Amino acid sequence: MKKKILSVLLACSMVVGLAACGGAAPAAAPSADGQTETTQSADSGSADNAADTSEAAPAPEPAPAPAEGSLSVCLASEPATLDPALNSSVDGATMILHMFSGLAKWEQNASGVLEIAPDLVDSLPEGVENGDGTVTYTYTLKDGLKWSDGSDLTAKDFEFAWKRAASADLAADYGYMFEVVKGYEEASAGDGSALAVEATDDKTLVVTLNNAVAFWNELLAFPTYMPVKADVVANESWATDPSTMVCNGPYTMTSWDHNSVITLTKNDNFYDAASVTMPVINFYLSDDANNQLTNFENGSWQLIDDVPTNEIANLKTKYPTEFVVAGQIGTYYVCWNVNEDILPAGSGLTGKEAEDAKNEIRNAISLLFDRNYIVEEIGQAGQVPASSFVAMGMTDADGSEFYKNAGSNSFTGYYDVDASAYESNWASAVETLKKYYTFDESTQQFTDFPTLTYLYNTSEGHKAIGEYLQSAMAGVGITMNLENQEWATFLETRKNGDFSIARNGWLADYNDPSSFLDMWTSGSGNNDVQFGKGDNENVKAYSIDLTDLGYDVNVTDGTWAETYDVVIGLIKTCTDKDTRYKLMHRAEDLLMSTGCICPLYFYTDIYMIDDSVKGFFSNPLGYKYFMYTTIG
């Protein structure tokens, strides 16, 4: 969520002015990415500034009032896909979890506490450990399960769906979520058939894991683990057309007016249809915060996930019970393309020396950003300045918070984000950059830093943060232009590595720090930074020593696959709790040493929900649940 910071920042003092200068319009904090996130200038006069302009925006058209027995909400703009295996955004996941049901689900217990519960099975059994250390689970489906087209849903549908999602043929971003399942390595290199999951009859599904996994039941509630029907998904466009969208959850899709609204209608073939209280949900598609607020205030939409920045203070007062700030386990950050050449022309650096220099440069630039200013003046919703990638809220082996034990400094994490440290951070950044770039002492500007382009998706909040970062860099002579793209296009551009520096965000997929770490392996579809890909595939510049943890792993100047991928592999197979958490800290140490990940803040979730809506809940992973709502 989202807004604008004015060019007056450029007139502020280079060192302390960005934190203290007034005159900026505040902004709501942008929403998180889909599992990465949902969707969302001080104009420096550059023709390459952000493409969106307030002058071009027409007055928003009010949406029609909701029909009786329906709920109208707006989470984001057009989703790229609603295929459970291919979606990688939180807004898409929310819609998918209204249309599909798996073996497990998130629900509120009688006390209102969120927990994982059985869904298409009567119980979630304990695994049975085998002689080789693997663990086998046997699930029995409920009787009479149906697809929305009335056909029988069987255990074979789960077997097919999981093998499809893990296969090289599909190349799903979240295919790596099946790494815990035996046979994944072979399955992910082929058609998925080697994955150790088997339907032994119509009601029985047997799956074998490489070892015990503490968050296994949470994975079962994740969209990628939902069943799909083989004959339906043979049509590649099945998940974009209501006529071909066959699902098994509380709702079916009855219409998709692209870039306008997706309508879900209660699925009478759902096994627990009697508990679904909202007959129709209209998911309106918009990334225009003014449009969202207009439709909320006129009663057309009952929940919105974005508000105009300049309205934040007023909305907190005007709607004290309807303006909501909820907790989330997630991090808003800037990511660099590891293959982007940011060295000055003629540096002469190559190989490991060049990579080490780029790592140092990226980490130095991270020190230029005043995270306290971002959360207090732009976010304004209780966000916490972030000094690590793994978000606050994740626990460590001893029960403390994982992020508080990150790094090996006198302060918490990898950067000192205390407000009192900002001046020294800035000075340190400048001194480091002087090692590589020409610095004009009279202007206090670097004169030969390559021009950068910052990519963000359309949203006033993302734009406001981009403008602040642009201003901070301009303070030392670095030119960074802004480019915005529509949500679905932005996701694809970032995934393909067609950027130099981009905004990013990540919400936990399950309650374990590995949810933030395993996405950066060489083969991960969520590895937007392109670690181990392209030119970086053969770069030998990374080191890791795990001998003190009992492993025969001590690599100096290895590739990303020889270091980071190895650590993540060990995390997935380690059964000793203390050692496993130490491995995760080592993985984050290596990740953060590259400077490619620049955390800005830990998320909160801002939204507005009409007081008339009862029965709504959300979880810290970013999913929102409407199926049990009523309107008073």
- What's the pLDDT band for 61 if we cut at 50, 70, 90? low
pLDDT confidence of residue 410: 92
Q: What is the CATH number of domain 69-82+237-326+609-631?
A: 3.40.190.10
Residue 273, pLDDT > 60, answer: yes
Find the mean pLDDT for residues 322-338. 94
Query: Among 96, 200, 95, 203, which residue's Cα sits nearest to residue 145?
Result: 203
Beta pairing partners, 453: 481
pLDDT confidence of residue 5: 25
Find the mean pLDDT for residues 401-428. 95
CB neighbours of residue 480 within 10 Å: 22
Contacting residues for 293 by C-beta, under 8 A, at least 6 apart = 304, 307, 308, 311, 315, 608
Structure tokens at 229: 């029907």
C-alpha count within 13 angstroms, C-beta hemisphere, residue 137: 23
Q: Are 37 and 244 in contact (CB under 8 A)?
A: no
- What's the pLDDT band for 460 if we cut at 50, 70, 90? confident
Of the segments 159-173, 313-327, 370-384, which one has the largest average pLDDT value? 159-173
Find the mean pLDDT for residues 276-305. 96
- Domain boundaries of the chain, sorted by first residue: 7-54+328-603, 69-82+237-326+609-631, 103-233
Q: DSSP characters for 560-592?
A: HHHHHHHHHHHHHH---HHHHHHHHHHHHHHHH
Find the mean pLDDT for residues 206-223. 95
pLDDT confidence of residue 285: 96
- Superfamily holding 103-233: Dipeptide-binding Protein; Domain 1 (3.90.76.10)
C-alpha to C-alpha distance for 137 and 121, rounded to whole angstroms? 13
Where on the phi/psi map is residue 354: left (φ > 0), alpha (ψ -120 to 50), or beta? alpha
* Between 399 and 54, the higher pLDDT residue: 399
How much of the chain exceeds pLDDT 70, in percent?
89
* Amino acid of residue 415: Y
Find the mean pLDDT for residues 595-599. 98
Q: Are 593 and 359 in contact (CB under 8 A)?
A: yes
3-state secondary structure of 257: strand
pLDDT confidence of residue 589: 98
* Between 459 and 261, the higher pLDDT residue: 261
Q: DSSP characters for 399-453?
A: SSBGGGG-SSSSSSSSS--SGGGHHHHHHHHHHHHTTTS-EETTTTEES-PPPEE
C-alpha to C-alpha distance for 49 and 46, rounded to whole angstroms? 5
pLDDT confidence of residue 26: 31
Question: What are the pLDDT digits (tens) for 516-549?
Answer: 999 999 999 999 999 999 999 999 999 999 999 9
* Between 230 and 604, the higher pLDDT residue: 230
Considering the chain, what is the average pLDDT of its residues?
89
Q: What is the CATH number of domain 7-54+328-603?
A: 3.10.105.10
Contacting residues for 235 by C-beta, under 8 A, at least 6 apart = 244
Question: What are the pLDDT digits (tens) for 6-59?
Answer: 222 222 322 222 222 222 223 344 545 544 454 332 222 222 323 333 333 444
pLDDT confidence of residue 66: 67
Contacting residues for 487 by C-beta, under 8 A, at least 6 apart = 39, 40, 76, 77, 78, 79, 80, 89, 287, 457, 458
Structure tokens at 389: 């990638």
3-state secondary structure of 100: coil
Give the DSSP H or E segment for 362.
Answer: helix 351-366
Q: Give the chain's largest Cα–Cα span.
A: 78
Find the mean pLDDT for residues 303-322. 91
* Between 346 and 6, the higher pLDDT residue: 346
3-state secondary structure of 384: strand
Q: What share of the chain is helix, strand, coil (3-state, %, to 5)?
A: 30, 20, 45
Backbone angles phi, psi at 66, to 5 degrees: -65, 140
Task: Tell how many helices (H) and how many strands (E) occur in the chain.
Answer: 16, 25
pLDDT confidence of residue 362: 98
Q: DSSP characters for 142-187?
A: PTT-B-TTSPBP-HHHHHHHHHHHHSTTTT-TTGGGGTTBTTHHHH
pTM: 0.78
Find the mean pLDDT for residues 284-311. 93
